């Protein structure tokens, strides 16, 4: 029996287009003790493939993390299947604010060591002993309290295009980096301050809240459902929106607009811009922010050298890539030295730090 995706992204896109069906993009997660993640993975693939689910799903002994899309007319069947699994019954589903039929083009369900890579070798803390979940209205009130410290648990390239007002936004590339940094920076306030955290959909905050409780923080809170659920509640209940900019998402949409504010800048020229793109040179594929002017001038590339490569015949490009992995620049998420505006920003930050 086929337990893996066989269609290419192009073939899948054509199939989606031909059906004419609207699709829903959604996400969910759940921490739970799973005895055999591989068996669950195969069961999910068989069932969800039949429902035309596409997405990126991780299963581990600590739970499941799913970001996916499916035909809107199969949502009820999908929900019925989730409810048939004990630890997923009545789970909250974060429906995307902005829908796109092409948000995912393959079904990938992978077994991982953890559903959120944390780099921790400490198995003594209970990931289910989480902090207090708060809804949007309570969250708004809580972050106005002078005894609250608000922390963004996402990475620098996410918070760069959007974040809550007055939030601490750690300058990190990965979630695992942020845990020790936050604990060290806030260790003097373990007893007296409210530690309030948020992330995209709640999964990173949930693990972080359990970890910080384990480390002795007494008043630990997290935004229920993350930025996605917060935005839904704000819109449905006419609450004040305290998020500025865009919410970065990990699918082909790249981001959802939460407010009209543009708080980031093009990494090449510095003009206001908050659109993430990948370099068109497949041997580079760097994720960075690029305005329309720079996009036109550099043919969707991050540098003139990549533009030169993209200008070559495809077979020549393919030959140049042969035996080569993607450049490590892809993991720098906009930190590459050849991005002049980002380089200037780093110099400014270093100068301020040394004063």
Question: Cα–Cα distance between 196 and 355 in angstroms, integer?
Answer: 30
Question: Cα–Cα distance between 14 and 31 in angstroms, integer?
Answer: 36
**DSSP for 277-311?**
EE-S-TTT--EEE--HHHHHHTTT-SSHHHHHHHT
Question: Cα–Cα distance between 149 and 140 in angstroms, integer?
Answer: 13
Which run of H or E residues covers position 317? Answer: helix 314-321
Question: Cα–Cα distance between 272 and 262 in angstroms, integer?
Answer: 7
Contacts of 176 (CB under 8 A, 6+ apart): 117, 118, 119, 120
Cα–Cα distance list, 278 to 130, 296, 334 (Å) = 36, 14, 10
Query: 197 forms bridges with which residues in the sheet?
Result: 151, 222
Which run of H or E residues covers position 247? Answer: strand 243-248
**Residue found by looking up tokens 């002993």 in the block:** 129
Cα–Cα distance list, 131 to 153, 274, 285 (Å) = 14, 32, 37
Query: 54 forms bridges with which residues in the sheet?
Result: 69
Question: Cα–Cα distance between 141 and 130 in angstroms, integer?
Answer: 21
Backbone angles phi, psi at 289, to 5 degrees: -100, 130
In the annotation, is 205 catalytic? no
Strands 194-198 and 220-223: parallel
8 Å CB contact between 16 and 28:
no
Residues with catalytic annotation? 199
């Amino acid at each position: 029996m086929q337990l893996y995706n066989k269609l290419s992204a192009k073939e899948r896109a054509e199939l989606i287009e031909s059906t004419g069906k609207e699709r829903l993009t959604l996400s969910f997660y759940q921490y739970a003790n799973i005895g055999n993640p591989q068996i669950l993975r195969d069961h999910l693939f068989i069932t969800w493939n039949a429902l035309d689910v596409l997405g990126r799903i991780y299963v581990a002994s600590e739970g499941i993390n799913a970001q996916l899309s499916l035909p809107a007319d199969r949502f009820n069947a999908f929900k019925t299947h989730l409810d048939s699994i004990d630890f997923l019954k009545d789970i909250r589903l974060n429906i995307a604010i902005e829908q796109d039929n092409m948000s995912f083009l393959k079904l990938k369900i992978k077994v991982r060591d953890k559903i959120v890579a944390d780099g921790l070798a400490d198995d003594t803390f209970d990931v289910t002993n989480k902090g207090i979940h708060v809804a949007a209205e309570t969250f708004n009130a809580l972050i106005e309290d002078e005894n609250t410290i608000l922390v963004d648990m996402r990475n620098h390239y996410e918070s760069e295009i959007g974040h809550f007002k007055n939030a601490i936004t750690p300058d990190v590339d990965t979630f695992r980096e942020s845990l020790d940094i936050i604990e060290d920076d806030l260790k003097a306030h373990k007893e007296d301050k409210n530690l309030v955290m948020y992330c995209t959909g709640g999964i990173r905050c949930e693990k972080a809240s359990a970890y910080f409780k384990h480390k002795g923080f007494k008043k630990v809170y997290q935004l229920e459902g993350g930025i996605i659920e917060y935005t839904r509640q704000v819109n449905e209940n006419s609450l004040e929106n305290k998020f500025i900019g865009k919410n970065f998402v990990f699918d082909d949409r790249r981001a959802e607009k939460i407010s009209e504010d543009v708080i980031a800048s093009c990494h090449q020229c510095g003009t206001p811009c908050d659109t993430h793109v990948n370099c068109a040179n497949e041997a580079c594929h760097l994720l960075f922010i690029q305005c329309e002017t720079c996009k036109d001038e550099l043919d969707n590339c991050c540098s003139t050298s990549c533009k030169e490569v993209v200008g070559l015949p495809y077979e020549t490009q393919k030959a140049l890539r042969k035996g080569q992995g993607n450049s490590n620049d892809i993991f720098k998420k906009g930190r590459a030295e050849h991005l002049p505006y980002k380089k200037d920003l780093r110099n400014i930050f270093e100068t301020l730090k040394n004063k």
